[in-house]
Structure formats: structure tokens, C-alpha cells
Amino acid sequence: MSHLRPRPPSGILRQLLARLQPVAATPAAASLAFMMLAPIAAQAQTPATSETTLPTVKVEDTADPMEVNNGYQGTQTRVGKTLQDPQDIPQAITTVTRELMEDQQVGSLREALRNVSGLTFTAAVGGRAGDNMMLRGFYTFGDLYLDGIRDTAQYNRETFFLEQVDVLRGSASMLFGRGQAGGVINLVSKTPKRADAYTLTGSVGTGNYTEITADLNKRVGEDSALRVNLMKRDEGSWRENPATGAEPEIDRGGIHVSYAFGMQTDDEFVLSHVQMRNRDIPDYGFSFDNATHRPNTNFSPDTFWGIDRNFDESDVNVTTSTWTHHFSPKSELRTTVRYGDYERSYWARTPSATDAPGSTGLNGASPNTGPTRSMDYETLTLQSDFSTQFRVLGMKHELVTGVEYLSEDSHRSSLQNLGGTTALNPPAFQPYVESTTASPVNFTGDSYAVYVQDTVEFMPFWKATLGVRHDELKAEYSSLNSPQLDFGEWSVRSGLSYQPTDEAHYYLSFSDSFSPTADLYQLSGGAHPPERSQVYELGAKWLFFDGDLAFRSALYRAEKEYERNTDLESTAAILTRKRRTGGIEFELAGRITPDWEVFSGVSLMKAKILETAVNLDNNDADTDPEVADPRFAGQRPRNTPEYTFNLWTTYKLAGGWKIGGGVEVKGDRYGYNPSSESANAQFTTNGQPSGFNPNTAPAYARWDAMAAYEQKDWAVRLNVKNVFDEVYYDAIYDNGPFTVPGTGRQFILTGELKF
């Protein structure tokens, strides 16, 4: 297990920076200065002082091991299977800490991930509705994890029970068994602590915003504790249906209960259950103009096409049991069993480019009632990891090995229209009342994996990492021309690290991975080879000011083959045969002075489709495979901006006051179907010399602000989201016809009580 760095008191550099603070008058200027001076400053750390031997003092540790993050700087992660310092991992990692989420008044995972550079949002499309993000230009719907265990279902995740969110960039097959090239998003839940602690919060805001949360931890024995997290949130919207006044709504609640016993003994057990309940009115967004391929100007962006009878209901139940056996301080066996049940049903209304919203759930005279769905998805996961450290021939080894099993059982169907398709007899649907005529779509899948990785310090300051993993995936589908698949694939991960000091780490890494989940292949079965990804990354990480400020940079190239991405309303997968993203990232997180914190990231991406698709799984696959328009080769892929930037910073004033703010910036993003056989609509000139003119969500900058008054046992905070009330589009649909406007200006007042 890699060492976890201590936090020494402030040093000479911090005092010097405090004197020079007037020179860096703005947080943005300071961030830029550190990015430019990082390599120089890394070599100028304060020398260690002489040590003084003190009498032995016995201390009982009551701290939660995941609560030692240094404000906005993550200092511990389990993203690499064992508890590690992110500084020691030869791969780019972004950690969104609990402190950062609280200062920003974050409720959903989507809002938390606005702090991750190079990340964009895909709108809630059909069966892919829920949390859908793209990282480095690649999909992540198969790469979401909860405490290191696959969380493959499509639902809206909340942050009320999370300690932090770790984003491991690049394919990480050995660690997680998934092959999306963009990265892994791992949610870290709160766990019981060996000390009583209670926190209550309440929030009210514009747009009918209300939220209540509770974080209650009770020590119930010498080595056991119980922790309960509760949440209830309601939220309206700045968009509404002019005919009825209906607006998108969020109505969500959740409970997370965890019980730990045997804490800090040789055998630790943690049992947990999380339940989340959504009762929303879904927002399918705003249409593009068919002529200009920009957001529609026929209607105001605040126009909403839904009605009060639309619904998006989901119930999520996840039960987890984890046993950790410590053979020694350097060897442990960690085994986790999880059962998840995810139920969801919705009826949404798609926007129109020409027809104004009505009151019946229809657009004009069209009989289209809007998309409906009923789904039930169950998973069973077993994962066991053994980690140890030892020396052979004078070289230190850090070994991780393990096994994994995942069972998937999925059912989905459209809903039964209990009404009609005319204004006089409008459509009517009820949650989970399935169609009696439509054929349901079902699949089952079983995947097995075994893996081993060793990190060897083969000479002072130099480490080599090599990991290998084998996955077997077997699945059966109810409605495909290719109803079965049987994939068996090897994946590798390697890295070379140079750490001359605890404050500097330089690395080169390579990972090659396979995507083993039945969900990913449910529209193509085994008609195509499996998805595979290759990622090369050259990076550096530095610590400044006695480790209080972390800076990292990474240069990477990622390629993916036989990509499957689609709206599940479709009948075949949307594919690209091969595509690539190359880019460079910079990130800064931590304290510049004891009172000044910053979290900032920059991502510059160059993405390209290298080879277009050939669909072999359509109805006439044997005689006339669907070939995508070859003109897509060389174009920028969907939803991949050329740049993103995020900055959030806070400053503590005298008397308990704190102020802060930040900005989220994204370049323009395309929306189109890259495997379309006829793509003429995307290649109209409209004054553009290239002739490639897809639907485009424009670039935007959203500014937020915060002011707080904090005392030891209570606090009051005011958050202002989208300060300048900018109209921006933060999510785009897979196939490209719609985009979703982001939040309007919103004021949220929060009170917090600790006891």
C-alpha cells in the first residue's frame, strides 16, 4: 500500500507567498502563474528541519480515513484498488472533494462533475437517460462506479451520501475491467466514524428550490459505528409550457445507511444500503433549427413542451457488504458483494422546431405521443482483491491481484397508451403499465475476470508498473439478429514512474482495455468485435507549499475501435470504426495560503473520426450492410469541444466570513449521427467552406458566486448560480436533434448546524 503523505505546518514558502499576495490580485492570475512556474517551484521545496525525539503518546484514531482530504485537494483515493495517495499513481486523477461540493451547493453528480476538465454532458436520451457524460471525447455510461464496484444502471445520481468523486482518466482495464478510453468515474460513499458527529442542513432558493439533508454518525461500540445520510430535494425550472404553465421539476429523496464493526481490527466489516427515489417531470430540451443547425430561434429558450402528466420515476436500491482482512499492516484481502435493483419508468415530450407547445402532450396535429419506457435492471457483483508489499532481491514490490464477477438481468418495454392520439382524446400513460402489443427487450449477461498487477521499485526513485487482466463475457439478447455473444479478451496496463521527492512525480503510462458488459452490446450483440481502447499518457505531478497545493499536467492520446453508442430508442448501434482524441490537461487544487483555496482545470482536445462505421447488425446484414457516409472521416466527433476550463476559488475573511466564485467554460459541441447512411443534412454549406455543418451547441461561460458566514457549530451560505443569467446549452443529444438549456440564474440560501 503506498504511503499517505503527512501535513506539516506552514513553511517559509507560504509566508513568502503571503507577502507577495498583492501581486497576484486575482485567483485566475495566480492559477496561471502556478501552471507556468510548476517545474521550477517543484525543485524549491523547504528543506526538512531537524527532528526532536518526544515521549511516546498513545492516540486513539477516530477519524474517517476518507475525511483527511485537504480542503479542495484530494489526498487519498481507492481508485487503484488500495488506499493510495493520488500523487503516487502514474495516471491523471481528478478528485472532487466533499468540501468543494458543499461550497458550491452541489446536489447532483452532474453538478459535481462540472469541476472536471475535458468532461461534457450527453442529454437524457431514451433508455440512456440518467447520468451520461463524455470524458476526453469518449462515453462513460459504462464507467461509473460506486466504491470501486461497477454501477452500470442508468439513473440520476445524488451526492448527499458521497465523501468524494474520483475521476481516473484513460482506460483502466486492469483496475476496473471497463474499456472506455475517457476514464473511470468512481463515487466514494461516506462510511461510519469512531466518533459521534451530526450535521443538519436546510436550503431554500428561487425556482421553488428546497433541500433538507442530514448526516448522522453514532459510535455504538468500541469498534463499531452507524452512519445515516438523508436527503429530500425539490426544484423547479426557469422554463415552462406557455399553454399550461407546466415546467420541468425535480422531486428526489434518498437514504444511505451504513454500519461498520471490527473497525481498526484485523477483520473489518461494512454493511450499507442506499435507496434513491425520483419523481421528476423530464425535460427533453430544445430543438435545433433544420436550416442553420443552431438552437431554434422560432421559440424562446425558456419554452418547455412537456405537460404536468409527463413523468420520470425511478427507484434505486443498492445493498453492499464489504469484508477486509488485514494479514499485516502491508497485506490485506478485501471482498465485496453487492446487489442492485434499478427500476425506472418515464413518459416525456420531445420539443418541436415549428409547433408551439400544447396542453395535451401532442405537438400540433402530430399523433406522436412522445417516448415512453419501463425498465427493470438487476445486477449481482462479487469482487475480491488481495494487496501486499514485499521485497525480493532488494527491490520493493506492491502487488495487487483479484477476481471479479458481474451478473446482469435487464428488461425494458414501452408503455401502454391508455388514451388516444388526438386533441379530443389525448394520450395517457401510467408508470410501469407496459404495452400489451410491443415486444419487450430483455438480456442477461455474465462476466468473469481475473487480474494481477505489480509495481516494482527497481532502483531508487524509479518504479515500473505492469498489470494484466482477462475478461470473459457471455450474454443473450431477445431481439437481435446476433442474439448471443461470447467475448474473451486480454488487457494490459503499464507505467514508468520517476519520483525524486515526495513533491514531484513524472510518469509515462500505457493501457489497453476491453469493455465487458452486456448492456454495452445490447443493440449489436456479437455482430462486431468487442470495443477496445488504447491510451498513452505522459504526465507530471507536483506539490507546493508543504504539500497544500497540487498541480498536475498530462499529455495523452486515446483511440477506440468498434465504438457502440446510441439512444436505446433506436434499433441499431451508432458506431465509429475508429476514432482518436489527443490533448493536454492542467489542473490545480488546494491551498495557496491558509485562507485562499483554488480548484481549476484546463483541457485542450483534438478529436477526429479515423474510420467510419459499417453496421452488420441491421435487418439485411448478410446482403446489404449499412455503410456510414465516408465524409465523416476526419471530422470532429460528437459532443467533444476543443477546449474546456473550470475555476472555483474561495477566500476566508476576518470574523468567519468567506467569499468565493468561479466559472465553467466549454467550447462548441456537435450533435449528429456518425453512422448514418445518408448524412446530407450534416454537409450543407450554409456559408461554411468545409461543407460540414452539423447541429452545434454554442460555446458558453457560466459564472457562479458564493458568500458564507461560518462558525464552529453552524454556518449560513448564499450561492448564486449563473450570476449573469446567461442562456447556455450544457447537454446535447446523441443523434443531434435536441439540446438542453442549462440552469437560469438561481439564488440558494443554506443553513448548517453541527453538534
Q: In terms of Cα–Cα distance, which of 746, 415, 481 is closest to 624?
A: 481
pLDDT tens digit sequence for 211-235: 999 999 999 999 999 999 999 999 9
Q: What is the pLDDT of residue 6?
A: 43
Mean pLDDT of the chain: 85
pLDDT at 733 over 50: yes
How many CB atoms lie under 10 A from the CB of residue 622?
Answer: 8
**Secondary structure E strands in 147-249:** 149-150, 162-169, 183-189, 197-205, 209-221, 224-235
Task: Please say whether the beta carbons of 726 and 702 come within 8 A.
Answer: yes
Task: Please say whether the beta carbons of 546 and 14 come within 8 A.
Answer: yes
Q: Is 656 left (phi over 0), alpha (psi -120 to 50) or beta?
A: left
The one-letter code for the residue type at 17 is L
The one-letter code for the residue type at 340 is G
In a domain, 35, yes or no: no
Report the alpha-carbon distance of residue 218 to residue 690 in Å, rounded: 64
Residues 6+ apart with CB under 8 A from 50: none
Separation in Å, CA 582 to CA 37, 494, 537, 555, 579: 24, 19, 10, 8, 10
Report the alpha-carbon distance of residue 738 to residue 299 in Å, rounded: 14
pLDDT at 466 over 70: yes
pLDDT at 706 over 70: yes
Question: Residues 402, 407, 412, CA angle at the centre, nearest 5°?
Answer: 150
In a domain, 188, yes or no: no
Q: How far is residue 392 CA from its own chain's centroid? A: 39
Mean pLDDT for 408-430 is 93
pLDDT tens digit sequence for 278-336: 999 999 899 998 888 899 999 999 999 999 999 999 999 999 999 999 999 999 999 99
Q: What is the pLDDT of residue 525?
A: 84
pLDDT at 65 over 70: no
Q: If pLDDT is split at 50, 70 and 90, which confidence band does 423 have?
A: confident
Report the alpha-carbon distance of residue 620 to residue 616 in Å, rounded: 8
pLDDT tens digit sequence for 153-177: 888 999 999 999 999 887 665 566 5
Q: How far is residue 341 CA from its own chain's centroid? A: 20
Task: Please say whether the beta carbons of 483 and 476 come within 8 A.
Answer: yes
Burial class (CB in 10 A: 0-12, 13-18, 19+), 21: middle
pLDDT at 22 over 80: no
Report the alpha-carbon distance of residue 31 to residue 589 in Å, rounded: 9
The one-letter code for the residue type at 661 is G
Q: If pLDDT is split at 50, 70 and 90, which confidence band does 600 have?
A: very high
Residues 6+ apart with CB under 8 A from 145: 151, 176, 184, 185, 186, 187
Q: In terms of Cα–Cα distance, which of 277, 275, 276, 270 is closest to 320?
A: 270
In a domain, 41, yes or no: no
The CATH number that applies at residue 274 is 2.40.170.20
pLDDT tens digit sequence for 576-588: 889 999 999 999 9
Q: What is the pLDDT of residue 607?
A: 95
Window from 85-89, 658-662, 741-745 with minimum mean pLDDT = 85-89
Task: Please say whether the beta carbons of 160 and 232 come within 8 A.
Answer: no
How many CB atoms lie under 10 A from the CB of residue 118?
Answer: 32
Query: Which cell goes with 590?
Result: 488546494
pLDDT at 14 over 70: no
In a domain, 568, yes or no: no
pLDDT tens digit sequence for 665-705: 999 999 887 876 655 567 766 555 568 888 999 999 999 99
Window from 396-410, 524-538, 550-564, 615-629 with minimum mean pLDDT = 615-629
Q: What is the pLDDT of residue 464?
A: 96
Q: What is the pLDDT of residue 617?
A: 59
Domain range enclosing 478: 208-508+651-754
Q: If pLDDT is split at 50, 70 and 90, which confidence band does 595 have?
A: very high
Q: What percent of the chain has pLDDT over 70?
A: 84
Report the alpha-carbon distance of residue 339 to residue 380 in Å, rounded: 5
Query: Which cell goes with 33?
Result: 502563474
Query: Which cell goes with 650?
Result: 474561495
Burial 398-425 (b: 16+ CB within 10 A, else e): bebbbebebebbbbbbbbbbeeeeeeee
Q: How far is residue 741 CA from its own chain's centroid? A: 20
Which one is predicted more confidently, 413 or 27? Answer: 413
pLDDT tens digit sequence for 72-129: 999 888 776 778 888 888 888 999 999 999 999 999 999 999 999 999 998 865 556 6
Question: What single-letter DSSP state applies at residue 683?
Answer: G
Task: Please say whether the beta carbons of 575 and 625 come within 8 A.
Answer: no
In a domain, 349, yes or no: yes
Separation in Å, CA 345 to CA 375, 376, 525: 6, 9, 25
Task: Name 281's bridge partners.
Answer: 249
Tally the C-alpha atoms within 13 A of residue 542's C-alpha that lie toward its C-beta. Answer: 20
**CA distance from start to end of the chain:** 35
In a domain, 670, yes or no: yes
Q: Are strands 144-146 and 183-189 parallel, antiparallel or unpaired?
A: parallel
Task: Please say whether the beta carbons of 144 and 131 come within 8 A.
Answer: yes
pLDDT tens digit sequence for 547-575: 999 999 999 999 999 888 766 666 667 67
Residues 6+ apart with CB under 8 A from 192: 64, 217, 224, 225, 226, 227, 258, 259, 260, 263, 270
Domains in the chain, number: 1
Q: How far is residue 710 CA from its own chain's centroid? A: 30
In a domain, 124, yes or no: no
In a domain, 603, yes or no: no
pLDDT at 18 over 50: no
R_g over Cα of the chain: 26
Report the alpha-carbon distance of residue 388 to residue 399 in Å, rounded: 5
Query: Which cell goes with 695?
Result: 447541429
Residue 182: phi and psi, rounded to 5, are: -70, -45
What is the length of the chain? 755
